[in-house]
């Protein structure tokens, strides 16, 4: 079994994380519960930042908070000197509540509303990553009205097909995101941005997809963008201050995944930008990146209680846990795979193969297929590894299942950072039939 970060088996033969026995966590916080290894998040953040520092590159490492956005996580990102990528008013609001420095916030999204843009302007955030012509016009209008100048990056699609699941591919021509670099739209957007007295085009952004293991896509994207920047320098005297190459660095969920170290992705990107910049006699831009999954993914473990079992003779043994697609939708959405152990006896030899079913009313609510496990009793605790990215952030209340709490562990200490949702929370926004407002014609 692969143990991530501070995860280990302790003297009592239990899984521990951050020096805390997971069974104690279960006793205190119940199940399901998301547990985060804070030391591992810090290590990952430092891995990215130190590589830029070592190679003498001015950079921003922006945590893509869509992967896992809570006040405590945003504060942790701030403690580690990261910048922050937000994609909605809600993520921005979380950053505001966490007192995150506004100048290090970058606002993304392919359909930011007028209200969201106004909020970004009001809080004077670091920059807006403009995605399309509609937004460019709207932002220019809002900035003019408020008589402010906003820094922007233009998100471009370089026409790269990275090797990953179709739903998380974003750099190809046929994408809902960004200005196309090849068909002239990116250049048109640049001219509009340069022409505006209320916008300052800091540079370009691209994000080719998520859970990518190969550096080729990043290299090709950097090449294509810098070639275009050279043309724009000649034609429009535009020099880019910033080149943001997005996130998407892959992590290990199972033994099928073989990611490289975060530092290796960064080194390859830096070297390519340096080579290309030298080739075109271009000033070296700042390099920004936006890792989400690779900062928090393997730091998260979800603990579940084992419940019912259904054996279909000669077919399959189903073992159900007290969560499922409501706290981790990734297996149902992307056929994502995970590894797991019994937290109360991780070293015990497997003696059967089971499939872990969630408790939602959906046949597709299967968390792990064909997992070798020791014979289980109900009340055993299943620890599913690597659930730190897009688990809590994509959690939902399907079947009115309350979302689990989030606990940070570090140096033998556990801190509750998100409370468990209660049944009262679930109905908090509901109004009884008689009190609802009806609109009459």
Ligand X SMILES: Cc1ncc(COP(=O)(O)O)c(C=O)c1O
Q: Any binding-site annotation on 358?
A: no
State which residue, 26 or 169, has the beta carbon closest to ligand LYS.
169
State which residue, 64 or 77, has the beta carbon closest to ligand X.
64
- SS3 of residue 48 by DSSP: helix
Does 108 participate in binding ligand LYS (rule CB under 6 A)?
Answer: no
* In the block, residue with structure tokens 């809080």: 123
Q: Any binding-site annotation on 297?
A: no
Whole-angstrom distance, CA of residue 257 vs CA of residue 343 = 23
Q: Which helix (H) or strand (E) holds 413?
A: strand 413-418
Does 106 participate in binding ligand LYS (rule CB under 6 A)?
Answer: no
Residue 136's nearest CA partner among 126, 128, 145 is 128
Parallel, antiparallel, or unpaired: how do β-strands 242-244 and 286-289 relate?
parallel
Residues engaged in binding ligand X (CB under 6 A): 64, 67, 85, 108, 170, 207, 210-211, 246-249, 290-294, 389
In the complex, minimum distance from the CB of residue 390 to ligand LYS, in angstroms, rounded to a whole number = 3
Edge-first strand order for the sheet with 20-21 is 8-9, 15-17, 20-21
Does 205 participate in binding ligand LYS (rule CB under 6 A)?
Answer: no
Q: How large is the greatest C-alpha to C-alpha distance in the chain, in angstroms?
A: 72
In the complex, minimum distance from the CB of residue 247 to ligand X, in angstroms, rounded to a whole number = 3
Q: Do 97 and 89 contact (CB within 8 A), yes or no? A: no
Residue 155's nearest CA partner among 138, 139, 135 is 135
Q: Any binding-site annotation on 122?
A: no
State which residue, 231 or 257, has the beta carbon closest to ligand LYS.
257
- SS3 of residue 55 by DSSP: coil
Among 14, 49, 66, 228, binds ligand LYS (CB under 6 A): 66
Give 310's strand partners: 318
State which residue, 80 or 85, has the beta carbon closest to ligand X.
85
Residue 77's nearest CA partner among 64, 87, 89, 88 is 64
State which residue, 67 or 336, has the beta carbon closest to ligand X.
67
Residue 247 contact partner, candidates ligand X, ligand LYS, none, CB within 5 to 8 A by sort of partner: ligand X
Residue 12's nearest CA partner among 25, 3, 22, 27 is 22
Q: Any binding-site annotation on 248?
A: yes
Q: Any binding-site annotation on 390?
A: yes
Q: Any binding-site annotation on 290?
A: yes
Q: Any binding-site annotation on 252?
A: no
In the complex, minimum distance from the CB of residue 211 to ligand LYS, in angstroms, rounded to a whole number = 6
**Given CA atoms 70, 76, 79, 85 in this order, what sign does their dihedral have?**
negative
State which residue, 193 or 292, has the beta carbon closest to ligand LYS.
292
**Residues between 129 and 188 with contacts to ligand LYS, criterion CB under 6 A:** 168
Catalytic residue among 143, 206, 360, 361: 361
- SS3 of residue 296 by DSSP: helix
* In the block, residue with structure tokens 């979800």: 302
Does 330 participate in binding ligand LYS (rule CB under 6 A)?
Answer: yes
CA 70 to chain CA centroid, Å, is 12
| Site map 382..401 versus ligand LYS, x via CB under 6 A | --------x-----------
CA 275 to chain CA centroid, Å, is 29
State yes or no: is 361 an active-site residue: yes
Residue 290 contact partner, candidates ligand X, ligand LYS, none, CB within 5 to 8 A by sort of partner: ligand X
- SS3 of residue 253 by DSSP: coil
Position closest to ligand LYS via CB: 390
Which positions make up the binding site for substrate? 293, 330, 334, 362, 390
Q: Can you say which residues are annotated as belonging to the binding site for pyridoxal 5'-phosphate?
A: 248, 290-293, 390
Active site residues: 361
Residues forming the site for ligand LYS (CB under 6 A): 66, 168, 210-211, 330, 334, 390
């Amino acid at each position: 079994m692969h143990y991530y970060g501070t995860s280990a088996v302790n003297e009592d033969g239990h899984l521990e994380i951050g020096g805390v026995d997971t069974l104690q966590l279960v006793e205190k916080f119940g199940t399901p519960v998301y547990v985060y290894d804070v030391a591992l998040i810090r290590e990952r953040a430092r891995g990215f930042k130190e590589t830029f520092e070592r190679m003498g590159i001015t950079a921003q490492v922006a945590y893509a908070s869509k992967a896992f956005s809570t006040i405590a996580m945003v504060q942790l990102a701030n403690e580690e000197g990261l910048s922050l990528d937000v994609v909605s008013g809600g993520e921005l609001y979380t950053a505001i509540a966490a007192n995150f420095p506004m100048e290090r916030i970058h606002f993304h999204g392919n359909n930011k509303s007028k209200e969201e843009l106004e909020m970004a302007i009001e809080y004077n955030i670091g920059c807006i990553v403009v995605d399309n012509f509609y937004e460019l016009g709207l932002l220019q209008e809002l900035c003019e009205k408020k008589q402010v100048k906003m820094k922007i990056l233009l998100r471009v699609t370089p026409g790269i097909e990275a090797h990953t699941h179709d739903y998380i591919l974003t750099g190809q021509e046929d994408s809902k995101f960004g200005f196309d670099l090849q068909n002239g739209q990116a250049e048109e957007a640049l001219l509009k941005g340069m022409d505006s007295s209320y916008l300052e085009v800091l540079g370009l952004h691209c994000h080719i997809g998520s859970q990518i293991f190969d550096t080729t896509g990043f290299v090709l994207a950097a090449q294509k963008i810098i070639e275009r920047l050279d043309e724009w320098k000649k034609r429009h005297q535009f020099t880019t201050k910033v080149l943001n190459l997005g996130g998407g660095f892959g992590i290990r969920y199972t033994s099928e995944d073989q990611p490289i170290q975060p530092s290796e992705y960064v080194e390859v990107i830096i070297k390519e930008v340096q080579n290309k910049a030298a080739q075109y006699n271009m000033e070296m831009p700042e390099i920004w990146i936006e890792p989400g999954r690779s900062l928090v993914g393997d730091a998260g473990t979800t603990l579940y209680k084992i419940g019912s079992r259904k054996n279909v003779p000669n077919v399959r043994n189903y073992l159900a846990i007290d969560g499922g697609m409501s706290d981790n939708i990734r297996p149902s959405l992307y056929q994502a795979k995970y590894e797991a152990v019994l937290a109360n006896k991780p070293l015990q030899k497997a003696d059967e193969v089971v499939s872990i079913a969630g408790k939602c009313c959906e046949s597709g609510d299967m968390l792990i297929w064909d997992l070798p496990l020791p014979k289980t009793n109900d009340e055993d605790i299943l620890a599913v590894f690597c659930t730190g990215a897009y688990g809590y952030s994509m959690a939902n209340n399907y079947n009115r299942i309350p979302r689990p709490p989030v606990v940070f562990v570090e140096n033998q200490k556990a801190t509750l950072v998100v409370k468990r949702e209660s049944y009262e929370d679930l109905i908090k926004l509901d109004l009884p039939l008689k009190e609802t407002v009806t609109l009459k014609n």
